[in-house]
Every structure is written in C-alpha cells, then in structure tokens.
Structure 1
Amino acid sequence: MATDMPRHIRDALDAIWQGTRGAALETSVLDFKEDPAMAAHGPKPPRKPEDKVFRVLTRECICFANGSDGEAHVVLGVADKLSGAEAFTGTAMDPEDIDKKVFNNSRPNLRVETREHEYRGVRLLVTRIPEGLALYTGTDGAATWRVGAGCTPMTEEQRSRLTLDRGNPDWTARRSDADTGDFDPVAMAEARRLLAAVRRAGGRHDAIPETDTGLLRELGLVDEGGRPLRAADILFGQGARGAEPVRFQYIAIPGGPPRSEDLRGPLLLVAPRLRELITRYAPATMATADLGGGQEVRIPAFPEVAVDEVVSNALVHRDWSLDASIVVEMGPRTFRVTSPGGLPEGVAADRLLSTVSVPRNRVLLRAMRMLGLVEEQSRGFDRMWVAMIRSGRPVPQVEAGDLRVEVTLSAGPPDIPFIEGLARVGAEFGEQYLESVDLLIVLRHLTEAPLITLRQVQRQAQISEKEARERMAFFTEEGLLADVPGGRDEWTLSARTRGALGDAVAAGTATVSVEDWIRERILSHGHVRNREVVEATGADPREVSELLAALRARGSVRKDPEGPSRGSGVRWVAVD
C-alpha cells in the first residue's frame, strides 16, 4: 500500500477519527465517499455495489475536473455522515478498475490516479484528479462543476465560458525567464509566514518548505522541471514585464493635482503597501448610525469590504500580459480603480452579479488563495454591492472596455434612515437576509418607489426572468415582500418590512398596481403622460409604454387627439 498520503487528507482523516463528520471537512478539492458494499448501516446495499461506486466516482471526478481550484482528491471508504471509528468502513475496490472506468466514461477521457492507503487498519482508496484542461462531461453529455463542497449542474453559458477559458491558456502559468535566485528574499519570507498562518487557522501543522524551490512547488508556481512560472515572478520578482504593478494617486481637492506614488517590486510586498496608503489617505468617518439597543456605528466614506474587493479583483484578475499599471485614485468623495485588460471572456458588464467568475490568471489566483490573500470562493462584485448598499450609498459604477476595467465607489452623504432601517429588518427577519444582494437591491428600490416590476428586478439584480420570479416568490413567502393587488409581476414591501424600515421609506408611496395608478390618474386629471407614470410608480419606462399600448389595444385608453401624437408630450385619455 502507498504511504505518501497527502498531508491535508491525513489531517482530515484524523479529524474524522476524533469526532468530526466527514461532510464538514469536504471542500472544493476534497470529498469522502462510502463503498455501499461495505456499509454496515442505512439502506440495503444495491445488487451490484461496484457499479454504483463507478458511477458516483466518475461523476465526482468530472465535477472536480471542471472546478477552478486545481488538483482534487476523492477518498473512498469513509462515510461522510458519520464520525469516529464508525465512519471508516473501508473498501475492497480495485484502484485500476476505478481509473479505467473514469477514463472510459468521461468525454474527453479524464485520466485520474487512484492509490490504496491504510488508515488505522482500514483500507482506503484515494483518487487524485489533476487540474482540468477542458470541459469534461459524462457519456450522456451531463456536466457538473465543484462549487464549494458540492457539485452543481453547469448551464450552457457556463459550459461555453469554461471551454473558452481553457481554450485560452493562463498567461501567468507560462514559464518565467527568471530563476528562483532572482526572487526577493523578503517576499519569500512573507510567503512562508502567510502560508503558516493559513495552515494554523485550518488546524494544520505540517512544515513549510525550507527551500525557495520547495515553497514555489508547494504554491504551484513551478513547472514539471522546477522552473518558475510567471505567476512566481509577479509575486516574488519584479513582475513578468518589470513594470510597476500599481500607481496610487491621492487627490485632495476635486480637479486639483494628484499626489502620486508608484509601487514597484513583488506583488506580495506591493499589496500591503497599497493598503497602507489607502488607510492613510481614507477620508474621515462621515456619519454615525443608531442601530438600536444603544449600538452606534460609524459610517466610513468607503466601506472597507468594498475597497478590499475592488483592489483584490484588480490585483488578481488584471491582464498581466499588458505593460500598463493598475491605477488607484482616491479623493474625498471618490475611490476609483482602473485595471489593465477587459473583462474575462464570457463576462459582461451588465451580468457581473450573476456570472460565475472564470479566473483569467488561475495559477496566480490559486497561489494567492493558498496564502490567504483572496477569498476561497470569489464573490467580489456582489460583496461590493452589499457593502455599498448597506452603507447607504449608490452601487459601484463599472465601466468595461477592451483594454481596461474601471470600478468607482462614490462616498456621497450616507442614507442614515436606510442604514438604521436595514438594521431593524435584520432584527425582525434575521441578519442572514442582509447578505442577499438581490434583497438589498429590491429594498433600496422600494424605499424610493411604491413597487418594483419583474423587469426591474431582472435588470438591477442582473438575473434571468426565471431567477427573478423564483427569488421574488421566496422573499414574498418569507414575509419580506407582498404582491401588488391587481398587479402583474409587481411587488411592494410587506407591512412588517415597511414598519421595520420606518422613515427610510419615502412618503407618499401608496401601493397600487401601475395599471390602477394610470386609471386613477386619468380619472382625477383627465389624462396621463408616460413620464408621469414612471416618476410616480418607479416602473421601467419600456414597461410603461408596453402597458399603455396594451390598454390601448383593449380599448381602455387612447391618445388625446388634441395633443401631440408622438414623443414625450403624448397624453393618454380614457375611451368614452
């Protein structure tokens, strides 16, 4: 039996033996499976348990190969719902049979490596799935990918993005011209410190490689021959092209001359220096909010989470093949980051909140994750949105072109009643709801308008019609929202939510359907214009035009023959 079981797997097995359920230790690169032929509990084993094992392992291997976190492992012979010695049920399966079955039942053929190990007298099989090089499916065409600790079916859009991404090799994964001896020793020491801290936090105590080459290999930053990759040059050297990674500019007075500082050197040292500059020049706290119970919080000009996400996204996802620097501009009311390179293939500026991130620089990203410098699961843009909305500010402004992406945070006066109202909503329904970017977008809209339509939810939350319906149905069932009486795909605040938000809700926002508002307006004023409907209800202008056209087709309204027949001045009147 093999004795070189990866340390993180052995640590996980130790934790299971000591009382932790395997399911709690599963990650984006590790899973535990039980061999049904060896199960001593639960339902009766299937007639051909080995066939079930082959099917399950093939699906898991395809799922991991389509994931974005690199090499992964599946341990066979451990019941993930149990803990202690009872969880180790073992397996009698042949490792070669598993490798052949996975290879023959995947498209394109996926090569995995299964080895047998003994743990406390129990025979286990550990299947290693290498980093995927293509989009993998089963023989039936089904494809899943690893999201956190689970496998999720891939949509056609996600399949296309993954195919495009893997068809365009990672620039940071190419071999560097630098040698290991060229790298900054201070940066290498910092990497050792960070890696040790991450492992301690995860309950791991394995030694950090002492040699620089060993450290780079641990971080996945060398090729098969031990030569450094460009991601290593970016992190520990002078960058793959030698240009300064970041230019920081502070503008004390809008329109005035900037105070600039170019940050050169290894990204591992540049990143903390950049954050120090941001902290030093950050505007003072703008206001305080009373969250109830004697709890007051200070509202900064720029939420720390939003700033950190903007900066991290630029450092990790910029196009490192370009010479240009990341430019960070900070002023009293504006924080802007301009990153070289457009959005990654398959990502659109109007779908940032709903597009699963396909990293441009996978090797660099994986190393920075291992060092704890970026989130394990990237939720960059929605975290920005959540932070800005909860601070009572406008959502980030994103402008994307072929050669740059610009993200701007605005620090106007915070909406204190809205901040305090959200705190009461959290107390009323649960704090977890305030982490939903979709709900926050809807609540922000409904404090300024009496209702929100399906199309507005789609556009503002950047989701499909089906997703918008499902989420609005959920929020309605949870008591946060209510259907507008007589409306079609229109929602408003529930009485409980309206009461919790209090003064944050604009006065005079009576809740009626858009169609009812049009009828009442014509009855009281004799006519109505498109823009009046939009201003009063907050409805989408295109939806208002479509609704008026539908009312006209039904014979309910007509254009006023005494007014203009086209343009914004058109008046709609009742049909006699």
Structure 2
Amino acid sequence: MPETNRIEYKRELSTGLEKEVIAFLNSREGGLLYIGLDKDGNTYGLADSDSDQLKIKDRLKNNIRPSALGLFDIVSEEKEGQDILKIIVASGPEKPYHLRKYGMSEKGCFIRIGSAAEPMPQKMIDELFASRTRNSISRIKSIRQDLTFGQLKIYYEESGHKLSSNFTKNLELLTEDNTFNYAAYLLADKNSTSIKVAKYSGGNRADLVESNEYGNECLVKATKQVIDKIAIENRTTTKITSKERQQSQLWNPIALREGIINAFVHNDYTNEIPPKFEIFADRIEITSAGGLPEGLSKKEFFEGFSVPRNKELMRIFKDLELVEQLGSGIPRILEHYGKDSFSFSDNFLRMNFMAKEVAVVDGGQTGGVIGGVIGGVISEAIDNESALAKRQKEVLRLIAANTAITYNEIAQALGINESAVGKHINALKEKGYLERKEGTRGYWEINL
C-alpha cells in the first residue's frame, strides 16, 4: 500500500519518529507507522529490530507530552524474509500532543495532512488545548488516598513484570498535584466499584434467577472474575445424529472475551457507572457507560480505529496481556457477530450476543451440558479411551463441557493445584487428544 493519511513508511529508525507519531496522535483516526520500508513500500528490513523496539518505546515515552503511554503499540513483523516494525498509534484524547522539548508551539505540534506530518498552526493548537478533555479518570482525584495495590502487583508478577517503587507515577496513577487519581482508585485493592452479573430464566428481566456481584477490588481482578463466570455459563451443546456428533458453545468464546474486556477498558467511569453483564436464555447483553468516544464515527469504530477512553487502563490491560493490541477487539468480535449486535446511545454502548440454537439429540432429548456434566455419549467416548489415566479423563470431561475453561476452574473443580492441571493438559496434548486454538485467548479443541 502507498503512504496515506493513515500510513507512513520509514526506511530506518530516524530522528523524525516522534514527529510522525505526534501527527497521528493529533489526528482523528490515528495511524500506522512502519519502520524498515522505504517511502514506496519496498522492504529493507532492520538489522536489530528488538533493539530498535526498545529505543522506540523509550523515545515515545520520554519525548512526547501529554504522555502517549497506552496510545501506541509496537509490533514486530516479517516481510519478504526481513524484520520490520509496525507502530500502531491511536487518536489521543488530550490533544494537542507535542514534542516535550518545544512545548505547545508550531515547532512542537504536528498534524497529519495527506501523507505528511506538517506543523500545526498556532490557532489550531490554542483551540485544541481549550477543548482538551479534563474530566478524565487521570485528572479526577481519588475519593480515598489510603490505597494499596497488592493485587495489581501480583498480576504484574504473574505476567513476568515487577512493579518498581515508583510504579504509581510510571503507570500514571497520580494527579498533577501528586495525589492518587481515579484510575488508581479503580485499580486499588479496595474500592466501591460494584460489577454485577445477572442471570434471568427467560428472554426478559422479569425472572431474576441469579445475581453475582464482583468488584469492590482491583478492576483487573473483577475483569478476570467476570470472564470466568461467563465462560462457565457458555456451556457446550451437542447434537447427536445417526451419522455424527456435532459440538458447539452457545456463544463464541473469543468474541465474548473481547466484549467483556472492551466494556471494562472503555467504560466511562467519570459518572461512577460501571459496566453491566446480563445473561438471558437466548442472549448475553454487555452494557458499558459512555457512547462512542468524541470524534469517532460508527464506521471508524467498526473498522477498528482506536480512541481509548481510559488510556491508563488500556496500558495496564496490555501489560497484563488481557488486550492484544490497539484496535483489535471490535474486528475480532465482528468475525463472529454482525454490526447489528452493537447498539449506541449518547450515554451507553451495548453489545448483544445471541445464543446459538439449543442442540438436541435425535429423538428429541436435550443434548449439551446439564449441571456441568456432559452428555452420556461424549462421556462414554472419553471413558473408552484406554490410553488415558483417570484424572486425564476428568480433565477432558471438564474441557468438553466448556472449551474456554481456565486452569484455575479445572483446579477448583478437581481439588488439585494449577501446576498439576498443567501436567495433565500437557499429557493430553502430547497424546493428541487436545489442541489449543487461537493462542492464550482462544479455546480448546478435543480430538476423540
């Protein structure tokens, strides 16, 4: 593709990197910057892409103001046998972005015009600054200042990171006067943000059969709890005919996970309304506060343009690998559900995931999972596998019931630790009974 208003090529890492990124941050749609391609798109590659990636992250972190952390991704790719880097830049919510060295001047601010980054006129700089969003979770002072972050530290350690003593500043959890902000409050061990998952027996809210409350703790933990709860509800249905056995889950697990995370990360917390999750007999509804971010159209939303409402949360969720890369969530949902699954209002965004038809066994008997126990035909097939140990069969039954089940859920169900679960799963994979699809955020496929 040629260079456009959203695509820029650089043959090598040069001094103009920050200028190009600032221009994308100040634009309405963000953009893509490739390092290792010349202006015509020819591949030259990079001698040391890993080193260049670290340099880029350091430069964008230290040389751009306001902070661009959480607003860019750096992805390593291969083209024609050569290593190149792709920098995904979102449209920033705190325009105008500028070079730290020159401040908010025509020498420090840039805007994308055609396929070039041009100096921003002073009048535009003044207008953007005057309309800059000030009511954001980074600027709102936390209602409590006695915050602790033990849970957040554990999640970082589990992801292979260690938070330094200066982490509240590095993660932008402080206001300009060095007090904890509302982002810090949401990520603290204790808060008053309640997340509800409601379950109804029918297709409306008339008969509430179950109400679960999560939250009042670190938002990352609440997110994981909601993901696990809905994964349990996403049971596997089975259709048995005279010729074959067909298995499928009520909802696509990848799209469902993306919808949950999207609701948490992009919810407008400034009005203290958390996201809401509702399970009906025929659908799951996920509702988040706040309509489309300012300056983002529905067309751009569906095409994956990213305007993070809460860049601090986005950055942390990316660090913890809950989010893959900017702008990837909605396109992944659209691979399985149509645009009509989304509804917008001035104050809310709702995702509506319809369940697949309930499958039946020939003869009219209900198939699928009932009370966490899989149908007799599948259970019998697993029991007949002589190559499997008793515990391996138990693990396989749980996975057959819920192909998006987590190690922790299996461990709890069987009363063993997660490391033991890992050994059983590795054994099942080696024997060819189990295969992981779509990576860490995907699902299990059973081969019997």
Q: Give TM-score scaled by structure 1 length.
A: 0.41
Q: Secondary structure at the match of 2:336?
A: helix
Q: 1:65 to 1:408 in 2, by over 3 A?
A: closer
* Residues in 1 aligned to 2:291 and 2:321: alpha-carbon distance in whole angstroms: 26
Contact 1:179 1:227 survives alignment (8 Å): no
The equivalent of 2:150 in structure 1 is 185
Which of 81, 88, 92 in structure 1 is aligned with 2:45?
81
The corresponding residue for 2:215 is 264
Residue in structure 2 matched with residue 62 of structure 1 by the alignment? 22
| 1:413 correspondence with 2:413 | no
**Residue in 1 aligned with 2:111?**
143
CA separation in 1, counterparts of 2:268 and 2:202? 31
Indicate the residue corresponding to 2:389 in structure 1: none
Deviation at 1:378, TM superposition (A): 2.0
Is the counterpart of residue 134 in structure 1 residue 88 in structure 2? Answer: no
Q: Give 1:201-220 correspondences, 5 Å limit.
A: 208-211=162-165, 214-220=166-172
Q: Once the 2 structures are TM-superposed, how far is the Cα of residue 269 of structure 1 from its aligned partner?
A: 1.4
Change (3 A) 1:270 1:138: same
- 1:167 aligned to 110, 132, 135, which one? 132
Could you tell me which of 242, 248, 252 is aligned with 2:197? Answer: 248
- Give the SS at the match of 2:302: coil
Please, what is the CA RMSD of the aligned residues? 4.9
Q: How far apart in 2 are the matches of 1:192 and 1:181?
A: 23
- Structure with greater contact order relative to length (CA < 8 Å, sep ≥ 6): 2
Structure 2: any 5+ residue segments left out of the alignment? 1-6, 36-42, 53-62, 69-91, 99-104, 119-123, 360-448
Q: Distance in 1 between matches of 2:66 and 2:155?
A: 37
Per-residue CA deviation, residues 275-322 of structure 1 (Å, 9 max, x unaligned), is 121122223335599xxxxx9984211101111121111101111012
Counterpart for residue 404 of structure 1: 348
CA contact under 8 A between 2:198 and 2:279: conserved in structure 1? yes
Mark the CA change 1:275 to 1:191 in structure 2 (over 3 Å): closer, same or farther: same
Q: Secondary structure at the match of 1:258?
A: strand
Amino acid at match of 2:151: V
> Structure 1: which 5+ runs fail to align?
1-27, 36-52, 89-101, 104-108, 113-130, 146-150, 200-207, 290-294, 389-393, 416-576
Q: Measured at CA, do residues 250 and 296 of structure 1 come closer, stay the same or move farther in structure 2, by a change above 3 Å?
A: same
Structure with greater proportional helix content: 1
Matched, 1:305 2:249: no
- The 5 Å alignment of 1:549-564 reads none
Distance 1:185 1:405 in 2: 32
1:275 to 224, 227, 230: 227
Q: Identify if the C-alpha distance between structure 1 residues 209 and 355 changes in structure 2 by more than 3 Å, giving closer, same or farther.
A: closer
Residues 236 and 247 in structure 2, CA contact (< 8 A), matched pair in contact too: no
Match of 2:173 in 1: 221
CA offset digits 1:408-440 (Å, max 9, x no partner) = 01113399xxxxxxxxxxxxxxxxxxxxxxxxx
Equivalent residue for 1:47? Answer: none
Hey, which of these two has a bigger chunk of strand by percent? 2
**1:219: Cα distance to partner?**
2.2
Is this contact kept in 2: 1:170–1:363, CA < 8 A? no
Q: Which amino acid letter does the alignment assign opposite residue 279 of structure 1?
A: A
Question: Which structure has the larger Rg?
Answer: 1
CA distance 1:338–1:84, change in 2 (3 Å): closer
SS of the residue corresponding to residue 208 of structure 2 reads coil
- Could you state the TM-score of these two structures normalised by the residue count of structure 2? 0.52
Contact 2:139 2:182 in 1 (8 A): yes
Preserved CA contact (<8 Å) 2:304 2:328: no
Aligned pairs for 1:284-323 within 5 A: 284-285=236-237, 298-323=247-272
- Report the CA distance shift for 1:286/1:311 in structure 2 as closer, same or farther (over 3 A): farther
- Does the CA-based 8 Å contact 1:176-1:228 persist in structure 2? yes
Conserved 8 A contact 1:343-1:405? yes
Match of 2:289 in 1: 340
| Length, aligned pairs only | 288
Cα separation, 2, equivalents of 1:299 and 1:395: 22
CA 1:82–1:184 in 2, change beyond 3 Å: closer, same or farther?
Answer: closer
Identity of aligned residues (%): 17
Distance verdict in 2 for CA 1:152–1:412, change over 3 Å = farther
Shift in alpha-carbon separation, 1:287–1:396, aligned structure 2, 3 A: farther
